[in-house]
Structure formats: C-alpha cells, structure tokens
C-alpha cells in the first residue's frame, strides 16, 4: 500500500456477539440425522440447539474480520507473533486451544494460526513489505473487534484495512 494512501478506519460500532457453532473440540462420528421441516438448502437436526445468531433480522454463524496491517514491524518473530495473537484472542474473550507458527527462514515471513474453541485467528506476514494479513473468525460470546487494537498496537501498524464478513449468512 502506498505511504500516501488512506486506510479504512476501524468501525466504532461493534456487532453483538455471535453464538458458538459447536461446543465440542474433538471430532466425533455422528449417526445420520433426521431433519425437521426446513428448506432443502438449510437442513436442521431435530432436538439440536441452533447456535446461529439473529441480529436485525439477519441470521448467521459468526463474524469474520479480514485485517491488513501495513507499515508493520516484528513480522519475522514467530514467538512474538504467537504471544500477540494469543493476547488478542484473550482480549476478545476467546478460548485458546492450540497455537502453531511456521517461520519460513531466519529472515522470512511467518504463517501461523491460533485455534480457538470459538474458531481461529490466522496470520501470514511479509516482513520485506512490512505487511501482515490476518483473519479473525469468532463465534459464541466473543467480540472479534476487541482483538484489532491489540494487533494494531503490537505490530506498530501505520495503516490498517478492515473488512467484515458474516459467515453462514442465511438469506
């Protein structure tokens, strides 16, 4: 991103928390489910809790923030990145299950993920461009927006671009 470009400002309003998609963290084999009366495109299982949320007449699974940090620093330090992503997850009231970082070379970028009970935060960095691409996907009572200032400050980003996507949007 050119230095004279303006960044999209982080929205001042935050969306309400989304409900958790699933509470189990281990894969389980399920028997074929019986479906309740619902359109074929949106099958439901009888007697199961629906963790989708409805806000302003819109029903969806969770909030996915796409965050781009420019003029960022410390993008080649996997330990610092892991600690920062975990701190951001905790600030959003998420539960950290597992963290994995991969450093491509002593001076190269880092790709990593923090797996959450409520979804994930992932990062890919290009230190040579002072750029980091992050995905923050959360459901449940987490507030993904609370992770953004932690990330912006920790990486010293001079410019931030933020996009929002409601995942599992039901028309």
Q: Which of 119, 120, 142, 159 is catalytic?
A: 119
Based on the residue annotation, tell me whether 142 is a catalytic residue of this protein: no
What tokens were used for 153? 């400050």
Cα torsion 1, 145, 85, 151: sign: positive
Q: How far is CA 11 from the centre of its chain?
A: 16
Phi-psi region of 150 (alpha: psi -120 to 50; beta: other; left: phi over 0): alpha
Catalytic one among 17, 120, 139, 159?
139
Active site residue 119: yes
**CA-based angle 148:153:154, to the nearest 5?**
100
- 3-class DSSP state for residue 6? coil
Whether 105 is a known active-site residue: answer no
Query: What is the phi/psi pair of residue 165, to 5°?
Result: -140, 130
Closest CA to 159 of 4, 50, 51: 4
Query: Which residues are the active-site residues?
Result: 119, 124, 139
């Amino acid at each position: 991103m050119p230095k004279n470009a303006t960044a999209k400002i982080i929205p001042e309003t935050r969306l309400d928390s989304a409900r958790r998609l699933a509470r189990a963290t281990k894969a389980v084999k399920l028997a074929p489910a019986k479906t309740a009366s619902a359109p074929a495109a949106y099958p439901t299982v009888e007697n199961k809790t629906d963790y989708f949320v409805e806000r302003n007449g819109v029903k969806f699974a969770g909030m996915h923030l796409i965050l781009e940090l420019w003029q960022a620093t410390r993008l080649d330090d996997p330990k610092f990145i892991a600690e920062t992503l975990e701190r951001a997850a905790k600030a959003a009231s998420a539960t950290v299950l597992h963290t994995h970082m991969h450093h491509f070379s002593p001076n190269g970028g880092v790709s990593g993920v923090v797996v959450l009970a409520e979804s994930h935060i992932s990062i890919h960095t290009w230190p040579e461009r002072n750029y980091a691409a992050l995905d923050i996907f959360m459901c449940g009572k987490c507030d993904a927006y609370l992770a953004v200032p932690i990330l912006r400050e920790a990486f010293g980003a001079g410019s931030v671009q933020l996009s929002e996507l409601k995942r599992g949007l039901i028309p």
